[in-house]
Amino acid sequence: MEDAQFKYLKLKGANAAYLGSLASDKVLLFIGRNNTQKNSAPLQKLLNRMILGGYLLIWPKSKNQSISELLAEKSTRAVSYLNRILGPNERPIKVWVRRLLKGLILIIHPSKWSYFANWLSASQVEDQTPIIKGAIQAIGEGKSIFIMSHSAGGITASTLTNIPNIQGIICFGYPFKHPNKGAESYRTKHLKDIQKPFLIIQGTKDEYGGKDVQNLYDLSPCIKLEFVDATHEYENLTAGDWAKVTHKIEDLLQAT
Q: Cα(163)–Cα(19) distance, rounded to whole angstroms? A: 23
Residue 217: the pLDDT is: 95
Cβ–Cβ under 8 Å, residues 136 and 16: no
Can you tell me the mean pLDDT for 50-67?
A: 64
pLDDT band at 190 (very low <50, low <70, confident <90, very high): very high
pLDDT band at 171 (very low <50, low <70, confident <90, very high): very high
Instruction: Answer whether 0.75 is exceeded by the pTM.
Output: no
Q: In which element (H, E) is residue 198 found?
A: strand 198-203
In this structure, what are the phi and psi dihedrals at residue 118, rounded to the nearest 5 degrees? -65, -40
Residue 183: the pLDDT is: 86
Can you tell me the mean pLDDT for 16-42?
A: 74
- Under CATH, what is the fold of the domain 7-62+125-255? Rossmann fold (3.40.50)
Output the CA–CA distances (angstroms, integers) from residue 156 to 5, 175, 191, in the order listed.
Answer: 28, 11, 12
Lowest mean pLDDT among 7-16, 60-69, 226-235: 60-69
Cβ–Cβ under 8 Å, residues 31 and 58: no
pLDDT band at 124 (very low <50, low <70, confident <90, very high): very low
pLDDT in tens, 202-250: 999 999 999 999 999 999 999 999 999 999 988 788 888 888 898 899 8
Residue 77: the pLDDT is: 59
Residue 116: the pLDDT is: 46
Residue 8, beta-bridge partner list: 17
For the chain, the structural domain boundaries read 7-62+125-255, 65-120
Residue 207: the pLDDT is: 94
Q: Residue 247, Cβ neighbours under 10 Å: how many?
A: 11
CA 226 to chain centre: 18
Which DSSP symbol is given to 111?
A: G
Residue 236: the pLDDT is: 80
What percentage of residues in the chain have a pLDDT greater than 90?
Answer: 26
pLDDT band at 175 (very low <50, low <70, confident <90, very high): very high
Cβ–Cβ under 8 Å, residues 56 and 137: no
